[in-house]
Chain A
């Protein structure tokens, strides 16, 4: 009777290695996983029989931490989940609290929020561009992308004070006003990217080896997209036109003129093209916010101690990786009663096992790269 009480073992670790197959432990320290993701691969030579991601190496109990912090103390933790798009997380949290407390946000603050978030989106996509090509074995594009990203990070640093883990938005506004130097810098960056993007396409998109490595690799059928809860470029690469910025508009996005790039083929190349086109669309948004930046205050008056009324609310935003939704319950006190993060990387990773089955090891890593995972966001 005691046998049934033994601890459940992870089933793949107990798989017997046969004559021709073996277990390959990919990660948590591996150059191809970009973080502490571990994948247990059951391989037959170079081919993958099954792939099982193991999560939790970076688990910091973010949701529990939020229950012990005041509503404003939670804000800095937002940058620690998806460190590549900290401003999207900032936005989700401040919008959520503003929704619960019904705070007004000045229009200038909304413009600054959208401007910086889109700059952040470009920096995230640039890093992904480099890292994805690193997965495919090309080293040079990584440093080309970093060259542009560096300009961008310097720019955001001058405004927000940090280079990566921004904590810039405030309830009812933003932390600092943009000055002329920042606006000029943003304009220069847009100009720079307009000349650089075609060069990326020249250097990478047209390359025969690159196309052969990505075309028809890791195809996600439209049938699977909603079932696995995919979102962001991974979803739009499979022909679904869903972007929170247009489907459930927030902030000033309804007033802006931009497209949602969609590709039909659902392979790694499609996801790559969607992201590069998104950089283009973000540049469009930035140009519009720069041209129409209204004058006025950057922050409305909110109480020092924030006590949202009893109730619950959720807020969804589009991060560079997909749909982030934060759900919070307030009991009317100084600290949240419960916070739940619905993160895009976690859902996007869920389809990896299905896609990797039967693929070559090299393809599996290309697929993993094309999902644009941020591991601390998955583990949170």
Chain B
């Protein structure tokens, strides 16, 4: 039954998610540039706004006002569709993410499953981008993204399964509530936590696993041919995806909004930014892993360990 309240709520959640995505992108890009700058004896952005905070807004405006160039031989519908397919799922994936016991756009019983499923669509967007623009570098980047998806998704899922066993629910909100009763699941699942960290770096195509856009090899990988707003959509998708992955990581392993002194959303943001900082740290200190090394790492190391981790957890749970 549609009531005025539910319509209001839907509108508010759409507004809220858009705000979170927009403000987060502006802030995270600034934060990343500052982190990178300080790791490299630089200051990062300083000119636009206080401490350069509005640099991203200026960059965004520049990108929006730029002409979008379509390659002559591009498959135009696919070319246009690809960045949208990349971005929209991560918007939706923010729906079931709780920022506190009450701050949540929509409570879903299957919230975790929804987020995982939507996360897979990102690769579809990359594949379409690589295929649609008829560029060999882009195609190579896209094929790398597709090749790596199985190597990290299965270990990722096998790390999440023990959490579901421990919590007994797929609802992200209830997973946190269970941790309120016991303790952070990272303490029960240290191995799973580490593998999850590696897997989300892979999932978000971040260095040292940024094969899909490996600059020194593939120019810009799957988004070589994209310019202006279309390029910034990919950019926005990547940073929003990082936010979602970090939010899920903090909910699953670090107790979400739980913490003393501060209200829930503050703790949630602190934990999210802890993960974001980790990813930036990886990116600015590591060389890129080679594709085949990553695949064998995923299949031969991550997969057996996460499988073992899952089996042991299941065995202990059954014994208790």
Contact = CB atoms under 8 A, between A and B. Distances in A.
A210 B293 CA distance: 12
A213 to B, nearest CB: 6
A56 interface: no
B287 interface: yes
B99 to A, nearest CB: 33
Interface stretch (A169-177, A223-231, A360-368): A360-368
A162 interface: no
Q: B41, B143, B210, B284: which has the most chain A beta carbons within 10 Å?
A: B41
A147 interface: yes
Interface string A110-141: 00000000000000000000000111111110
A138 B286 contact: yes
Given A22-B136, A144-B41, A361-B140, A210 B287 contact: yes
Interface residues of B, number: 29
Contact of A46 (B208, B210, B285, B291): B291
B11 interface: no
Interface stretch (A24-32, A64-72, A245-253, A292-300): A24-32
Contacts of B41: 143-144, 147
Contacts of B207: 137
A360 B140 CA distance: 12
A19 interface: no
Nearest to B284: A140
Contact of A360 (B215, B284, B291): B291
B301 interface: no
A31 B218 CA distance: 9
Contacts of A46: 140, 144, 291-292
Interface string A325-360: 000000000000000000000000000000000001
Contact of A31 (B42, B140, B216, B285): B216
A281 to B, nearest CB: 26
Given A140-B40, A365-B216, A207 B291 contact: no
B109 interface: no
A350 B170 CA distance: 59
Contacts of B290: 212-213, 360, 362-363
Interface of B is mostly: helix
Interface in B254-308: 284-293
A31 B293 CA distance: 23
A7 interface: no
A212 B219 contact: no
A31 B213 CA distance: 12
28 contacts: A24-B136, A24-B137, A30-B219, A31-B216, A31-B219, A32-B217, A133-B287, A136-B216, A136-B287, A136-B288, A137-B208, A137-B216, A138-B285, A138-B286, A139-B284, A140-B39, A140-B284, A140-B285, A143-B42, A207-B287, A209-B286, A212-B289, A213-B287, A213-B288, A360-B291, A361-B217, A362-B217, A365-B217
Given A32-B216, A362-B288, A365-B216, 12 more contacts: A24-B136, A24-B140, A46-B144, A133-B287, A135-B216, A137-B208, A138-B286, A209-B289, A212-B289, A360-B291, A361-B217, A361-B218
Interface of A: 22, 24, 30-32, 45-46, 133-140, 143-144, 147, 203-204, 207, 209-210, 212-213, 360-363, 365
The 7 A-B pairs of least Cβ separation, nearest first, read: A137-B288, A143-B40, A138-B287, A136-B287, A32-B216, A135-B216, A362-B290
